[in-house]
Amino acid sequence: MMAELTAVLLTGWLHEFRASVAAQREYLTELDSAIGDADHGANLDRGTAAVVAAFEQAPATRLDDLFKRTGMTLVSSVGGASGPLFGTFFLRIGASLGPVASTTGADFGAALSAGLGGVETRGKAALGEKTMLDALAPAIDAWDSAVARHKHVREAAVLAATAAATGRDATAPLVATKGRASYLGERSVGHIDPGAASTTLLFEALATALDGVGK
Ligand code: ADP
Ligand code: MG
């Protein structure tokens, strides 16, 4: 049976992400105060609140609309480095999915990869440079591999969240060479990257949103 990821379910994902960012705002701020400028929690709190408000006012029924509006709202409300990066991620997801009301695990994986490509192009970072990519890339790999093994999307999301968390934790020993944290050079060692932490929240939110599906 092909599990369908609907606009309602994926709007639910964005709501879960917003709730988790609001709950973890201080944690994200703390991470960014160690190797950045202490605004990552506030940036994403503002951005995800705006995203949720937009869909409460006018729900999305098509996935391209859902993710393009998410991306544009994040670009215009988050600021900093992470606004354009998260914004591009969602804009590319929307463009990849197109004007459909629901999608499959495989097509959603392809859309996530398109999003990743956008983050890479925009940020010009590579894996291992202590950025959000270090959580994002392994999470998408885990999703794709689970879907290829015919796992339910609910399980794929749990595996993706676990891979993101592993990637997040693996940023601690790395030296930052991109973004603000790179100004610290070797002194960035020993701290988790804030963007890798928020990216992990994003995939944990996906696992929460899909938790009840197909049970
Ligand atoms: P700013 O650095 O402008 O204060 P934020 O604090 O909101 O923006 O976001 C910081 C996060 O953005 C970093 O922890 C990192 O994960 C991510 N980031 C910064 N620069 C890049 C880049 N060039 N490529 C990918 N991610 C990046
Ligand atoms: Mg910052």
What ligand is nearest to the CA atom of residue 193?
A: 1
Considering the entire predicted model, what is its pTM? 0.97
The atom of ligand 1 lying closest to the CA of 80 is 3
Question: For each of the chain's 215 residues, which pLDDT tens digit applies?
Answer: 465 899 999 999 999 999 999 999 999 999 999 999 999 999 999 999 999 999 999 999 999 999 999 999 999 999 889 999 999 999 999 999 999 999 999 999 999 999 999 999 999 999 999 999 999 999 999 999 999 999 999 999 999 999 999 999 999 999 899 999 999 889 989 999 999 999 999 999 999 999 988 87
What does the angle CA 79 – CA 41 – CA 186 come to, to the nearest 5 degrees? 90
Strand partners, 103: 5
pLDDT attached to residue 1: 44
The CB of 103 under 6 Å from ligand 1? The reply is: no
CA of 156 to the centre of ligand 1 (A): 26
The CB of 36 under 6 Å from ligand 1? The reply is: yes
The CB of 37 under 6 Å from ligand 1? The reply is: yes
CA of 32 to the centre of ligand 1 (A): 9
The CB of 41 under 6 Å from ligand 1? The reply is: no
- Tokens 């990257």 belong to residue: 193
Distance CA(127)–CA(212), nearest Å, equals 33
The CB of 131 under 6 Å from ligand 1? The reply is: yes
Residue 153 tokens read as 């999307």
pLDDT attached to residue 191: 94
Strand partners, 5: 103
The CB of 137 under 6 Å from ligand 1? The reply is: no
Under 8 Å between Cβ of 135 and 172: no
